[in-house]
A and B are shown apart, each in its own frame.
Chain A
């Protein structure tokens, strides 16, 4: 069986956070019905496109976020469309939506309406600020960089000599989607144990304010001491820390403590420093000339190394280290190849290519074979047919703008 076998999810989301939530549910076996407006989820028009050719079936972000889902185009602004969505909702155990707080009440797709007579419904709302609070009431606008700047650790990211630095891509929204998937499954777990459903309130901002990427630690540090975390000018915590160049790129290495510092100096050809007390002193209290001397030896060694080899050597010596890979390095990296991380998925419009696949491996309920993202409205007939709508009725529904 699949991990989420027998679970149907009505997916009323667009963009990134909601679709990542429902992608995770779909990837592990839930039947996710993605409801799109006639023009499609706006993400279908976000670049980059396969072959750099724009088109609703070619957005790489969309293709990535919507694997294993079925697409139906139903317009909730029409009364027939509303009726179809209500019927679909009644067949789903989980509804995920990302409308502005209160906005779905007008079409009867809010938690209050759908849970009437259905206390076991799991309903997940994903919004920038949450369902309550002054920023939600004022309908403040937000996007990825705002979530990270206000909620996340942006002030601590980057160089003290520069502006704060955002994390790559749509990290905050992706993470919020994963939090939403977790919340949906624990709520479902309670329902399947005979308990009640619930309305989960996900604020993307709040998932960043509570993120374990430094923020909860720095907030607690502030609470304890009044000191705020800041960006640094470079390797602050270790003589041997941080990103440095090799002959063919960059690596990131960290050595602390007696044994590892001794390994580090041997690695860079400075056996004369083994046992030197300065190696385990706070770097901020060291003579800058000594820091410079170690740094010069390290660089001299590094610049003769290949990045993967330098990391392999550091790891052999028990040091923490990683290569600063580019996307090109990544897809050829032997480790990921050997472990079979990449999914090759065919798509009739975009073509066949490799996607980043499983996030984890479940031994008893392995992830089902990945299916490509749906074409716009691809499953209209199939899904409406399951509701008892005859194929002959579809042209009329189409003409009326219902689907």
Chain B
């Protein structure tokens, strides 16, 4: 059995929120030892997800139903350590380790620099000024480890007018045109809501860049600094739309669910609450099969819908007609019957549907991981597999500070005395210092 490709690679992880953590998730899953370095004195709410007031269970449930699920703790119980229970954190941090050190203090900074000496890679996605103020730029880290690979992935880059703009994925997506292009064609962009696709793409691309730098380092013996502007990184995803403007001066406009030529193409309502079927009709044969299965012989002979260009031209009307028919069917039935007839179709899956999906389960996508407090839970797993390299998730997300002993003592070689001092100063500890999560009673925050 082959070893995991990144076995032996150690990564210092100072990432926050979603994009950076996705990079280190992908590195950890394929064998790298990823060590998260987190302060005990500040909580980044979208990273550890615990700065919200502790609302009653009903409010939490409502929040979850509203689409904001970062605070959906196991069984809605925040416990005394909500920061170890956030699905936002626990969905990426599996396979990682957690140590505590506050790099904005001289002591924590020195600990971090000692860690850098023992690492191959350092990843961060903070606002540039954060790293500059902490005096932890590449020039500084290189002094301690000349072969270090450092990946910095701020929202907009390390130079330019927007250098220190603060943004989540959804704001970046506005800035690069994705929000506009994905809006409903017949509504203002307000209705399109927030998405965080840029985080996902930056995560994958960041991992790709680190993998290449590791390959280079093996050949040249040199590390390097990688600058990934999350905004610039997303521009190529929209390449054809941007070229359409730069070449043809055409603004394709909000696309919604429409295709450039196929019709019908979209998500159509089905029997049940918020049930939908996706349909992509890519030929006249598929169109006839669709009409047959929907029980719509009238549509099949309607001259307005005869050819692809007819259907595309009348797509607004067509969508309405198709919806009137799909409403009488279940999404599961349509998925089966349309696919059997060669029509591209698939249900819009709820989270529950995905967990029950025969395809994902046959491929072992979901995996169970035990947690010492809230027990064994099922998690989304690896996004790809290698035939000769069996691979699984190894352990659940680490509790804050869980691996202090291992990192400080074994990796950094702290003496008993040094370690005791780090505990006394508060750098080393389990969980946040009292008062960091103000809504928790002080006696419960240890």
Contact = CB atoms under 8 A, between A and B. Distances in A.
Nearest to A199: B387
Interface string A264-285: 0000000000000000001011
Contact of A212 (B203, B223, B236): B203
B407 interface: no
A180 B66 CA distance: 34
A290 interface: no
Interface stretch (B374-382, B415-423, B425-433): B374-382
Interface string B68-87: 11101111100000000101
Contacts of A142: 344, 346
A53 to B, nearest CB: 10
A132 B363 contact: yes
Nearest to A327: B245
Given A3-B212, A166-B267, 15 more contacts: A1-B219, A141-B339, A163-B257, A163-B267, A169-B240, A169-B241, A171-B197, A212-B22, A212-B199, A220-B380, A225-B73, A250-B174, A282-B53, A333-B175, A359-B205
Using C-beta atoms within 8 Å of the partner chain, give the interface range for chain A: 35 or more
A255 to B, nearest CB: 11
Interface in B119-164: 138, 153, 156-157, 159-162, 164
B215 interface: yes
A198 B359 contact: no
B359 A65 contact: no
Interface string A361-380: 11111000000000000000
14 contacts: A133-B362, A142-B346, A154-B267, A180-B384, A186-B211, A189-B5, A212-B19, A212-B21, A220-B379, A227-B72, A320-B171, A336-B235, A360-B205, A364-B216
Contacts of A237: 66, 68
Given A157-B193, A326-B251, A356 B235 contact: yes
Main secondary structure of the interface of B (DSSP, over half): mixed
B226 A324 contact: no
A363 to B, nearest CB: 4
Contact of B215 (A189, A223, A331): A189
B182 A323 contact: no
A213 B172 contact: no
A153 B195 contact: yes
B349 interface: yes
B245 A254 contact: no
Interface centre among A155, A320, A322, A362 (most CB of B within 10 A): A322
B50 to A, nearest CB: 13
B348 to A, nearest CB: 4
Contacts of A213: 169, 195-197, 199-200
Contacts of B28: none
A334 B265 CA distance: 36
Interface string A49-88: 0111000000011011100000000000000000000000
A325 B66 contact: no
B150 to A, nearest CB: 9
A360 B246 contact: no
A158 B215 CA distance: 41
B360 interface: yes
B411 interface: no
B71 to A, nearest CB: 9
A360 B317 CA distance: 43
Main secondary structure of the interface of A (DSSP, over half): mixed
B61 interface: yes
Given A155-B274, A213-B199, A218-B69, A145 B178 contact: no
B349 A150 contact: yes
A178 B23 CA distance: 12
B180 A326 contact: yes
The 4 nearest A-B residue pairs measured at CB: A322-B171, A364-B224, A222-B351, A227-B64
B255 A168 contact: yes
A140 B2 CA distance: 32
A324 B195 CA distance: 13
B64 A181 contact: no
Interface centre among B195, B260, B383, B387 (most CB of A within 10 A): B383
Contact of B386 (A183, A227, A329): A183
A357 B233 CA distance: 9
Using C-beta atoms within 8 Å of the partner chain, give the interface range for chain B: 35 or more
Interface string A194-227: 0110111111011101111111111111111111
A211 B92 CA distance: 10
A223 B231 CA distance: 32
Nearest to A311: B165
Contact of A65 (B223, B239, B357): B239
B42 interface: no
A324 B179 CA distance: 6
A210 B382 contact: yes
A320 B208 contact: no
B161 A338 contact: yes
A205 B344 CA distance: 14
Interface centre among B66, B212, B380 (most CB of A within 10 A): B212
Nearest to B279: A145
B383 A179 contact: yes
Given A3-B212, A4-B215, A168 B181 contact: yes
B358 A321 contact: no
A150 B171 contact: no
Interface string A2-23: 0110000000000000000000
A179 B174 contact: no
B218 A47 contact: no
Nearest to A48: B244
B64 A219 contact: no
B240 to A, nearest CB: 4
B324 interface: no
Contacts of B189: 243, 250, 324
Nearest to B21: A212
B316 to A, nearest CB: 13
B197 A167 contact: yes
B384 A203 contact: yes
Given A1-B219, A47-B260, A150-B348, A185 B64 contact: no
B360 A206 contact: yes
B248 A338 contact: no
B18 A212 contact: yes
B374 to A, nearest CB: 8
A219 B380 contact: yes
A156 B350 CA distance: 9
Contact of B349 (A149, A196, A221, A325): A149
